[in-house]
Chains A and B, each alone.
Chain A
């Protein structure tokens, strides 16, 4: 499934909605959106993943890039991730560094 990443900034919260398949072919697009968000100095990064159906290590590396680019103080929330995509995040130890939530309510 084609990948799409949409950024919305609200009250210094960067919310990115990820759709489709995130692997090496689509990771550059995700990285662009992270960079777009980073220049606005968000206090929090929220990734909506309900409709992200595939996540490869190239996508995980962009999450590492996001943390390193935005700084350790910017918390990352992964929302709506489920099934094997959530399994990949947990297997890779990312659940130690990001907040995993089923739903997200806009502040």
Chain B
């Protein structure tokens, strides 16, 4: 599949979602894992746009690419916003998840959903670029 370069604005999330859905269809993923991947990519892209670019008063792009093999579908988001490792974020624990909404902290849910939605997630920073890498296995998921 061809890669795509989108402006780092929230308006690009829709186009990004369409790209991911096309990739999951091509990979033959079932509805649930396909949705999990779309959600994970949407969450990370939102973080990149809001924290990596807008809050840092930077303008730029997000590049998305995909690689399909017999065993997996890999999606890579690449950006030049401020370096941020999503895995450094503290995730909500069981106690937090069970708390009444009126007492809950609003942070950390996005990364939690990323890790729940994909088979493997990794982050690297090299040559001035953030790379967020999402991997879905093509079999063995329901």
Contact = CB atoms under 8 A, between A and B. Distances in A.
Interface of A: 21, 23-25, 54, 56-58, 60-61, 63-65, 67-68, 71-72, 76, 83-84, 87-88, 91-94, 96-98
B32 interface: yes
Given A84-B36, A88-B113, A91-B113, A58 B97 contact: no
A56 B102 contact: no
Interface residues of B, number: 30
13 contacts: A23-B42, A23-B46, A25-B10, A57-B109, A57-B113, A60-B109, A61-B109, A68-B102, A71-B102, A84-B31, A87-B32, A92-B97, A97-B102
Contact of A24 (B32, B35, B50, B116): B50
A88 B100 CA distance: 16
Contacts of B14: 21, 25
Interface of A is mostly: helix
A96 to B, nearest CB: 6
B17 interface: yes
A81 B141 CA distance: 23
A23 B101 contact: no
Contacts of A23: 13, 17, 42, 46
Give 10 closest A-B pairs by Cβ, nearest first. A93-B97, A84-B35, A67-B101, A25-B10, A57-B110, A57-B109, A97-B101, A24-B46, A61-B106, A72-B102
B11 interface: yes
A56 B42 contact: yes
Contacts of B116: 91
A7 B110 CA distance: 27
A96 B113 CA distance: 17
Given A24-B42, A57-B43, A84-B31, 7 more contacts: A23-B17, A25-B10, A56-B39, A57-B46, A57-B112, A91-B113, A93-B98
A72 B100 contact: yes
B19 to A, nearest CB: 14
Contacts of A96: 98-100
A67 B99 CA distance: 12
B101 A68 contact: yes
Contacts of B17: 21, 23, 54
B131 interface: no
B129 interface: no
